[in-house]
Amino acid sequence: MKKLIPFSKLLFLIIALVLNSCSSSPEMKLSEAVLFPKPVSLIETNSSFQLTDQTKILVSNDSKVLFKAGNYLASLLNPATGFNLKTEIGSEKEVTNNIHLKISNLDTKFGDEGYKLRIDEDKISLEANSVEGIIRGIQTIRQVLPNEIEASNKIEQSWYMATGEIQDYPDYKYRGAMLDVARHFFSVDDVKRYIDLLAAYKLNVLHLHLSDDQGWRIEIKSWPNLTAIGGSAEVGGGEGGFYTQEQYKDIVEYASDRYITIIPEIDMPGHTNAALASYPELNCDGKATQLYTGIKVGFSTLCTDKEITYKFIDDVIGELAAITPGEYIHIGGDESHVTEMEDYIYFINRAQKIVLAHNKKVIGWDEIAHADLEENTVVQFWAKKENALKGIAKNAKVIMSPATKVYLDMKYDSLTKIGLSWAATIELDSAYSWTPETFVEGITKKDILGIESPLWSETIETMDDIEYMTFPRIIGHSEIGWTPAENRNWEDYITRLKKHRERLEIMDINYYNSNLLLE
Ligand code: TNX
């Protein structure tokens, strides 16, 4: 007969096992955390830290911005954990079980956005040269936690993080996305959600394309018809809309709390039908145009030889500069097919001077390289490499937005229901497999400010559409901007992205479920 273990002994054994598993830290591997963008270096120490309702977020001095960063971290952790984590001022030595955020003097290679994240069994320390780096590191803390941390409602589970150390800093200092709110208008809440999604992948710029042929989307108090008339249309005949200056400031502040800079664009001298329909005097023939709801490009132009045009630009840029803390204003300059080259150059030269007079620097699409470029003017490469090279020859830095790789409005393949395909269809592998500093012969790393992924909205009508075209391609773009080329490869990327799908689902992102994710 088999010898049975007495019930009391068995009970004791079970209790001992349970107690043991509670008190000691389970072994976990930091290298198994799915991190986007991939960090520069990672060392694992094979244990774990447990986030509990007793964990404190500590900031070492009473810097207001650091305290705010602590509250931002708490706001990311509290919904799913159901905890009520708070930021406190104190030293990490006082207590265990804390997440300590600290400004320190890291090596210059960390710059403003780099960070050092050390996860031990009993505490976490996140250090950076500036709060910007703390905000970037907070995104890594998020990703080291279980996927469920992204849930908007409380989930009953333990919150372990693998221990180790991550040292991380970006390859390029400008890592942006652009949203076209002119062809279709998107609400303040949609823009805020977009900002949150960009922040999670350490992007630091949101360029808002605020005017085009189909709509004018920002209140300009000295030219009220821009929004009263020009704001009332959009592609397909919808009602359009615009941001009041107060709403715009709210967006700017929301972005700035996540250390994302808003770069506003007023496209000129082409792509201006909404303005031309609002004010007859901006037209060479003195007659207002009709509002436009189609998707053709290149048919409109401001009248470049009327003085009122420059008064108009000065007023618009003046009001916009006053509510834009970022250093850049984007003046468009693309596809001005009905402006004579001579007039175009004259116009772009004057427009740059106006922006400078309002203490901002200029960004323009690559065509502006035909003009004389002011010191610090940046050329955004999207189509013609000759233009980008011309800009570089004139001492400009370049933002890399090659339409064939980063245009988020391009279809994934011929079956994609929304989007365009004039430049290419862009599957996940194509979007990921390129390198800014080798993409165009003659454009080298020192010429490049960074990369930006534009989402044009001719066919994009809802937040679901925005998410579908943006995700997951932008995750790849974020990695191209952050992670040095020698640390990136497609196989490793797609393997991590497959594992990341569950998190995208919990984040409720309407992403494109490519066949490449299913194999
Ligand atoms: C070209 S990219 C444009 C936009 C369109 C886009 C559609 C650029 C500077 N101009 O006006 O929306 O193609 O993909």
Which residues are identified as catalytic?
A: 335
Of ligand 1's listed atoms, the one at least distance from the Cα of 212 is: 11
User: What confidence tier does 512 reach under pLDDT thresholds 50, 70, 90?
Assistant: very high
Residue 264 CA to ligand 1 centre (angstroms): 16
Of ligand 1's listed atoms, the one at least distance from the Cα of 335 is: 10
Distance CA(152)–CA(157), nearest Å, equals 14
Residue 450 CA to ligand 1 centre (angstroms): 19
Question: What's 433-449 look like in SS3?
Answer: CCCHHHHCCCCCHHHEE
Residue 207 CA to ligand 1 centre (angstroms): 14
Residues 29-49: what's their mean pLDDT? 98
pTM of the entire predicted model: 0.95
pLDDT exceeds 80 at position 3: no
* pLDDT tens by residue, 369-395: 999 999 999 999 999 999 999 999 999
User: What confidence tier does 188 reach under pLDDT thresholds 50, 70, 90?
Assistant: very high
Distance CA(451)–CA(448), nearest Å, equals 8
pLDDT exceeds 70 at position 350: yes
User: What confidence tier does 20 reach under pLDDT thresholds 50, 70, 90?
Assistant: very low
Structure confidence at residue 5 (pLDDT) = 53
Structure confidence at residue 392 (pLDDT) = 98
Structure confidence at residue 17 (pLDDT) = 46
* pLDDT tens by residue, 466-506: 999 999 999 999 999 999 999 999 999 999 999 999 999 99
Structure confidence at residue 62 (pLDDT) = 72
Structure confidence at residue 16 (pLDDT) = 44
Q: Is the CB of 381 under 6 A from ligand 1?
A: no
User: What confidence tier does 6 reach under pLDDT thresholds 50, 70, 90?
Assistant: low
Q: Which of 5-9, 295-299, 347-351, 411-415 shows the lowest per-residue confidence on average (mean pLDDT)?
A: 5-9
pLDDT exceeds 70 at position 4: no
Distance CA(203)–CA(205), nearest Å, equals 6
Distance CA(383)–CA(7), nearest Å, equals 76
Sheet strands (E) in 257-401: 261-268, 328-332, 361-365, 378-381, 397-400
Structure confidence at residue 27 (pLDDT) = 97
Of ligand 1's listed atoms, the one at least distance from the Cα of 183 is: 12
SS3 355: helix
CB atoms inside a 10 Å sphere around CB 415: 7
Q: Amino acid identity of 349?
A: N
Distance CA(312)–CA(450), nearest Å, equals 31
Q: Which of 3-12, 165-174, 357-366, 505-514 shows the lowest per-residue confidence on average (mean pLDDT)?
A: 3-12
Structure confidence at residue 7 (pLDDT) = 54
Choose one of 297, 380, 411 to mutate for the ligand 1 pocket test, by most ligand atoms within 8 angstroms of C-beta: 297
Structure confidence at residue 53 (pLDDT) = 97
Structure confidence at residue 272 (pLDDT) = 98
Mean pLDDT of the chain: 95
* pLDDT tens by residue, 61-112: 778 999 999 999 999 999 999 999 999 998 767 678 999 999 999 999 999 9
